[in-house]
Amino acid sequence: MIEVYTDGSCRNKKGGWGYIILDNDFQLQDSGSESNTTNNRMELLAVINAIEFLIDMEYDECTLYTDSMLTMNCGKKLWKRNKNLDMWKRFDSLVSNITINWVWVKSHNGNHYNEAVDKLAYEQSK
């Protein structure tokens, strides 16, 4: 099973996102930044970018680890989506092509890959 760790960060309206994809011995990471944004938008963008990569590589299922309850619960449609509706529309168009098994992880709690994506996102938000 493909494992994906995602995180977003925002400082002074400059945001960063990052993801790490694990497939047996294979590991890939990516990150990026945006201006005039929010932390929640970056959390979601990390998920979207990771899913787009997986779909391009023809994966149809993943376990996605996030420390954002908002992203996970809105992604599972358990919570109402009030903001970033443009991105949620993009997300919804992607998830018809992939099954996501969501796992929430506590942030800054010693999970190696969660700490690594946190660092990626934070560095991009500088």
Strand duo 14-23 + 26-34: pairing: antiparallel
Q: Say if CB 45 and CB 53 are below 8 A apart.
A: no
Helices within the chain (DSSP H only)? 39-56, 69-75, 85-95, 112-124
Sign of CA dihedral 82, 51, 123, 126: negative
Q: Which of 86, 108, 110, 112 is catalytic?
A: 108
**56 a catalytic residue:** no
The per-residue pLDDT of the chain, averaged, comes to 96
pTM attached to this predicted model: 0.96
At 78-90, the pLDDT tens digits run: 999 999 999 999 9
In sequence order, the 6+-apart residues with CB closer than 8 A to the CB of 103 are 63, 64, 65, 66
pLDDT, average across residues 15-31: 95
In sequence order, the 6+-apart residues with CB closer than 8 A to the CB of 58 are none
- Per-residue pLDDT at 22: 97
**118 a catalytic residue:** yes
At 89-120, the pLDDT tens digits run: 999 999 999 999 999 999 988 999 999 999 99
- Could you tell me the two tokens for 9? 């960060």
**67 a catalytic residue:** yes
Q: Which of 15, 18, 34, 67 is catalytic?
A: 67
**43 a catalytic residue:** yes
Full set of structural domains in the chain with CATH: 3-124 (3.30.420.10)
- Could you tell me the two tokens for 94? 């992607």
Q: Which of 15, 34, 43, 75 is catalytic?
A: 43
- Per-residue pLDDT at 1: 86
- Could you tell me the two tokens for 85? 């509706």
Q: Which of 7, 15, 34, 75 is catalytic?
A: 7
pLDDT, average across residues 46-56: 97
**16 a catalytic residue:** no
Q: What is the rounded distance in angstroms from the CA atom of residue 117 to the CA atom of residue 47?
A: 12
Residue 91, classed as helix, strand or coil, is helix
**7 a catalytic residue:** yes
